[in-house]
Amino acid sequence: MIGAWFSLPDSIQGALSFIGNAYVELQPSGNANKYYWVNNSDGSNLQFSGNLGGLQIVQGQSLLLGGQAQTYQPQFGVSVTMHYAIDQNTTFSAFNLAYNGSQGNNDRWDTSGAVNIDNNLSAGTHTLYVWYSAYDGSSTTVYDNAGGVNFSANFTVTAVPEPVTLALPIFGGLLVTAGLSRRVLSRLGSRAN
Shared-domain flag, residues 36 and 91 = yes
Q: What are the φ/ψ torsions at residue 171 (nearest 5 degrees)?
A: -65, -35
pTM confidence score:
0.77
pLDDT tens for 57-115 read 999 899 999 999 999 999 889 999 999 999 999 999 999 999 999 999 999 999 999 99
Shared-domain flag, residues 171 and 154 = no
Is residue 117 within 8 A of residue 65, CB to CB? The reply is yes
What per-residue confidence (pLDDT) applies to 161? 81
Integer Cα distance of 60 and 131 in angstroms: 26
pLDDT tens for 104-132 read 999 999 999 999 998 789 999 999 999 99
Shared-domain flag, residues 52 and 146 = yes
Task: Tell whether the torsion through CA atoms of 43, 44, 47 and 51 is positive or negative.
Answer: positive
CA 102 to chain centre: 23
User: Is position 1 within any domain?
Assistant: no
Domain of residue 74: give its range: 10-158
Between 187 and 129, residue with greater pLDDT? 129
Shared-domain flag, residues 176 and 152 = no
Shared-domain flag, residues 188 and 142 = no
Looking at residue 116, which CATH number applies to its domain? 2.60.40.10
What per-residue confidence (pLDDT) applies to 11? 43
Integer Cα distance of 45 and 36 in angstroms: 6
Maximum pairwise Cα distance, the chain: 117
User: Is position 113 within any domain?
Assistant: yes
Question: In the predicted model, is pLDDT for residue 191 greater than 90?
Answer: no
pLDDT tens for 127-183 read 999 999 999 999 999 999 999 999 999 999 999 887 765 555 665 555 555 555 555
Shared-domain flag, residues 176 and 138 = no
Number of structural domains the chain divides into: 2
H or E segment to which residue 119 belongs = none
User: Is position 56 within any domain?
Assistant: yes
Burial 157-184, CB ≥16 within 10 A → b, else e? beeeeeeeeeeeeeeeeeeeeeeeeeee
User: Is position 152 within any domain?
Assistant: yes
Shared-domain flag, residues 166 and 105 = no
